Amino acid sequence: MQTLRSRIASQGASSLALGCFSLLAQPAVAQTTPPATPDSGQANLGGFTVSDTAVDEGSYKVERQASPKATADLVDTPRSITVVSRQLLDDTNSTTLAEALRNVPGITLGAGEGGNPLGDRPFIRGSDSSNSIYLDGVRDIAASSRETFALEAIEVTKGSDGVTNGSGNAGGSINMVSKAPEKRRFVAGDAAYGSADYKRFTVDVNQPINDFVGVRVAGMYHDQGVAGRDYVWQRRWGIAPSIKFGLNGPTSLTLDWYHMQSSELPDQGIPYTRIASSLPAGYTEVAPLGTGAFTTASGSTVQRSRGTFYGLVNRDFRTTNNDSFTARFEHQISKDLTIRNTLRYSSTEQDYLWTQPDDSRGNLYLYGTVSRRANSRYSTQNGLVDQIDLYGKFNTGGLKHSLAAGLEYNAQDSAIGNYFSNGVAGTAIASAVACASATSVGNAICTSASTPNAYDVWTGVVEKGPANSRTLADWTTLSAYVFDTITLSNKWMVNLGGRYDRFVTHASAAVAAPFTTNRTWQRRKDDLFTYQAGLVYKPSANGSIYVSTSTSAIAPGTFLAQGLEDNAVASATIDPNSLKVQKTTSYEAGTKWNLFGDALAVNLAVFQTRTTNARVTSDNGGVAFIGDKRVRGIELGISGNVTEKWALSGGYTHMPSVMLNGGYASVGGVYVPAVTTGKRVANTPLDSLTVNTTYKVTPKFTLGGSAIYMGKVYGGYGYGSTAATVRAVYAPSYWRFDANAAYKINDHASLRVNALNLTNKLYYDSAFTSHYAHQAAGRTVIATLSLKY
């Protein structure tokens, strides 16, 4: 197998050379401010409207996406798109992608473990979207926890989005827009301190060297405990320098590097109270262990504190290391046509060993104890992408076109292994065991559910397994796409798009201990075609009514074990030719309006997303593709300024979902319909709402707040020893309220105070399929001093 690094020198270098030639071989155009999008002379990035003369930092409203694939303003784009602006990130103190996505209704966060890795795992319209995260339109597949210090905005597209970004994107996609050099000179910095010894420092320096060259550097240091959780801590730092040649166009080259490192004692969460075999016949829903008294089967009482930590302070850890290097050439061929080439190499490492409070042996219910199950992973993920885009406007007869077309080469590889207590012999660290007492088994494996000791002594040597104990996988895609928004008249527009992907996957499963057997490799090739189509009617210039459809195709092996891989190629027992492409089709109808002089954007949509060919296990232990799920819903969104003083952002989503066909499962040696059939789709709440608002009480003093509601979220379902017993685990619904206040001291200094989870609500922000749910932070008060020059 040719490694990704060796391919950089050949395919990557030649792609960059072609991109550079395409850009620099064009005649120059005398224009001081080239349009950043096909229709606009200014770039709208988050809450900042950037032009030659002004920067407006007061609004949440954004006119259009930053991607060159966007061929119309948001009001004329026939699908649901939410943009989280830089202003909203600051107002809500959203320092990570996970925190930022709480501002988007309809998104839930999934929990991880060993098989589903720790990191950002958003679910959009019922589908795992951890493989649908992009940075400036380029896929960012690696499992990691992403920061916002170097971002201008986050764009969330809902509905099948394979046509825009390739394999995956069944329920939608997330695009992070990075900071880049600008023509204006500024220095900005924040210093924050808060609850649980919260400390954060950021700096953002933009310096034009002259009219041709500009430099920008963003940096961050973050160190905190977690309010309401004992022992847990997080620490990270990052830097993102960039330089741009050709600030005033028409030809530019931007080079940037992003680096972030993190270390933490991860929070293992709270166990569920029952296993299926301990339940009475029928269907029972099981919540995590609360702080009230719980009576075990033996009649004893379990009562934990809010901060109870089931891990081991001296053993558990998590570290990440992220690097990406980007070169972007852009040339304006004419005032209506631009060509752009983006080349990026990225590398991500994630290592962890953390304690999961295992519930699979019924310890909590039977004995009032917890088994300290060790989940571990050490992984590397490398990616090389070269993407060339051509976008602009032209007319054919009486029709106006806003066109975007492109070619993409994308190569990703990953290597994933586990930690052992003896790496050479491959001795697994003890996990799911029966704990008849808190001291059973020994070696700190069992502990009390009420009063665990985080400093219990675990004896062992944590070692990475040998090379053959890792799962290796890589994939390569060659893609071509085209999008066109056609204006038929001042009332009618048509939005069309199509994409072709040649997707080739190689994978090799880990070799069993003693890891001396030769590896076997699986190979799979898929040709994928996805499309989108929409019709837009404009009753007036500031509004639209639309209908649209779009598709997504998830090729086997797409996730490279970086998310919910239910279609994996890396299995020694599965013929890759027996696998099928999972297909999703979305339908949407809605209306969008810009109100109050275009200051406020509102939208309403109804939608359906349906996935077929979800993989299940057949009665002979092989692979069957009879899985079929459907998510329907209605969504309302709002973003912008109601008045000059009052800003508002948020929305509401009602999202009924059902697993129409989950296949079959073996229960007590008898095959019965899968437990998921007829059930609500996991990680898909029926209702969710978020509202963020600020109001300028005086020219210097602003008050604001947020309200977040999340309905019950099911983590998963399971049979007991017979089909008569069914368990569903879930995270209960909750309301969360935040507040913020800001005071402008002078033109260069301001002070902001955020109170997150103002009422100190105990709630769970993610639910795993089994074992545990993750408890969110308690009340956190943070004061931030901001300086800018």
Q: What is the DSSP string of 615-683?
A: EEE-TTSSEEEEEEEEEEEEEEEEEEESSSSEEEEEEEEE--EEEEE--EEEETTEEEE-TTTTSPPTT
Q: Please report where in the chains the tokens 């499962």 appear, as a residue.
A: 665
- 636 pairs with which residues across the strands? 604, 652
The answer to whether residue 739 scores a pLDDT higher than 90 is: yes
Q: Which helix (H) or strand (E) holds 344?
A: strand 337-358
Lowest average pLDDT, out of 11-20, 530-539, 770-779, goes to 11-20
Range in 321-335, 414-428, 692-706 with the lowest mean pLDDT:
414-428
Give one DSSP letter per residue of 95-139, joined into a string: -BHHHHHTTSTTEEE---BTTTBSS--EEETTEE-TT-EEETTEE
Is residue 421 helix, strand or coil? coil
With tokens 């009753």, the residue in question is 539
> What are φ and ψ of residue 108, in 5° steps?
-120, 160
Sheet architecture: strand order including 122-124 = 107-109, 122-124, 127-128
pLDDT at residue 653 tops 70: yes
Residue 26 binned pLDDT confidence (cut-offs 50, 70, 90): very low
Mean pLDDT value across residues 589-603: 95
Question: With left for phi above 0 and alpha for psi between -120 and 50, is residue 561 left, alpha or beta?
Answer: left
Distance CA 643, CA 646 (A): 5
Look at residues 340, 319, 321, 342 and name the one whose alpha carbon lies nearest to residue 331: 340
- pLDDT of 623 > 80? The answer is no
pLDDT at 428: 72
Tokens of 332: 């304006």
174-183, 380-389, 492-501, 658-667 — which is least confidently predicted?
Answer: 658-667
State the DSSP string of 449-494: SSS--TTPPPP---EEPPGGGSEEEEEEEEEEEEEEEEE-SSSEEE
With H, G, I as helix, E, B as strand and everything else as coil, classify residue 259: strand
Least Cα distance to 349 among 376, 374, 323 occurs for 323
Say if CB 476 and CB 166 are below 8 A apart: no
CB burial of 113-129 (b: ≥16 within 10 Å; e: otherwise) equals bbebbbbbbbbbbbbbb
Specify the residue for token string 């240091």. Answer: 221
Average the pLDDT over each of 440-454, 481-495, 606-620, 715-729 and give the range with the smallest value.
606-620
Q: Tell me how far apart the terminal alpha carbons of the chain are, to the nearest angstrom.
A: 52
Average pLDDT of the chain, as a whole number: 86
Do residues 506 and 550 touch, judged by C-beta distance below 8 A? no
Q: Give the Cα separation of 454 and 412 in Å (integer).
A: 39
Backbone angles phi, psi at 422, to 5 degrees: -145, 100
Q: Cα–Cα distance between 383 and 326 in angstroms, integer? A: 12
The rounded distance, in Å, linking the Cα atoms of 566 and 523 is 17
Residue 239 confidence (pLDDT): 98
Residue type (1 letter), 596: F
Q: Are 692 and 703 in contact (CB under 8 A)?
A: no
Token match 């928004």: residue?
485
Give the integer Cα–Cα distance in Å for 778 and 758.
8
* Statement: residue 53 has pLDDT above 80: no
State how far the Cα of 281 lies from the Cα of 277, in Å rounded to an integer.
Answer: 9
Q: Given this model, what pLDDT does residue 35 score?
A: 34
Which region holds residue 368: left if phi is over 0, alpha if psi is between -120 and 50, else beta?
left
- Strand segments, DSSP code E, in 509-596 are 522-537, 543-554, 582-595
Looking at per-residue confidence, does 359 or 232 come out higher? 232
| Residues contacting residue 158 through CB under 8 Å, at least 6 positions apart | 79, 80, 81, 82, 106, 124, 125, 171, 172, 607, 635
Distance CA 605, CA 636 (A): 7
**What are the residues facing 549 on neighbouring strands?**
533, 587
Confidence (pLDDT) at 422: 66
Res 44 pLDDT > 80:
no
Q: Are 126 and 627 a contacting pair, CB within 8 Å?
A: no
Q: For residue 6, give both structure tokens.
A: 């060796």
**Residue 740's beta-bridge partner residues?**
704, 754
pLDDT for the residue 166: 83
User: Would you put residue 683 in left (φ > 0), alpha (ψ -120 to 50) or beta?
Assistant: left
Q: Summarize pLDDT for 490-529 with one digit per residue, the tens.
A: 999 999 999 999 999 998 888 887 788 888 888 889 999 9
CA distances from 682 to 93, 508, 614 (A): 29, 29, 14
Q: Tell me, what's the pLDDT at 626?
A: 65
- Residue 325: its H or E element: strand 317-334
Give the least confident one: 281-295, 460-474, 557-571, 674-688.
557-571
pTM for the full predicted model: 0.89
* pLDDT given for residue 640 in this prediction: 93
- At 719 the pLDDT is 85
Mean pLDDT value across residues 590-611: 95
Ranges 211-215, 355-359, 611-615: which has the least confidence: 611-615
**247-261, 318-332, 425-439, 588-602: lowest mean pLDDT where?**
425-439
Question: Per-residue pLDDT for 325 more than 90?
Answer: yes
Answer yes or no: are the C-beta atoms of 87 and 62 closer than 8 Å: no
Determine what percent of the chain is predicted with pLDDT higher than 90.
62
Residue type, 633: G
User: Cis (ω within 30 of 0) for the bond into 250?
Assistant: yes
Q: Would you state the structure tokens that stand for residue 593, as one six-digit string? A: 């309006």
Poorest-pLDDT segment among 148-152, 565-569, 626-630: 565-569
Q: Is 338 in a helix, a strand, or coil?
A: strand
Q: Is 25 exposed, middle or buried (0-12, 13-18, 19+ CB in 10 A)?
A: exposed
H helix or E strand, kind and range, residue 14:
helix 13-24
Task: Residue 639: name the closest of 161, 130, 154 by CA.
Answer: 154
Local confidence band at 743 (pLDDT 50, 70, 90 cut-offs): very high
Residue 24 φ/ψ, nearest 5 degrees: -90, -10
> Is the separation of the CB atoms in 704 and 741 below 8 Å?
yes
Angle (CA) 59 62 66, round 5°: 135
Residue 117 tokens, joined: 């890795």
Q: Distance between CA atoms of 429 and 267, rounded to whole angstroms?
A: 19
Task: List domains and CATH numbers for the chain.
Answer: 4-572 (2.40.170.20)
Distances (CA, A) of 438 to 195, 447, 451, 582: 33, 4, 10, 45
Stated length of the chain: 789
**pLDDT on residue 54:** 25
**537's tokens:** 């009617």
Q: What contacts 256, CB < 8 A, 6 or more positions away?
A: 178, 180, 240, 241, 242, 243, 325, 326
**Closest among 665, 662, 667, 656 to 677, alpha carbons compared:** 662
Give pLDDT tens digits for 288-306.
999 999 999 989 999 999 9
Q: What's the rounded Cα separation, in Å, for the pair 15 and 11?
A: 6
* Closest alpha carbon to 19 in 414, 445, 339: 339
Whether the per-residue pLDDT at 24 is higher than 60: the answer is: no
Strand partners, 656: none
Helix (H/G/I), strand (E/B), else coil: 33: coil
Residues 6+ apart with CB under 8 A from 692: 60, 88, 91, 92, 103, 648, 649, 650, 704, 705, 706
Per-residue model confidence (pLDDT) at position 690: 96
* Strand pairing class (657-661; 646-654): unpaired
What is the pLDDT, as a whole number, of residue 65? 81
- Average pLDDT of span 437-462: 92
pLDDT of residue 559: 76
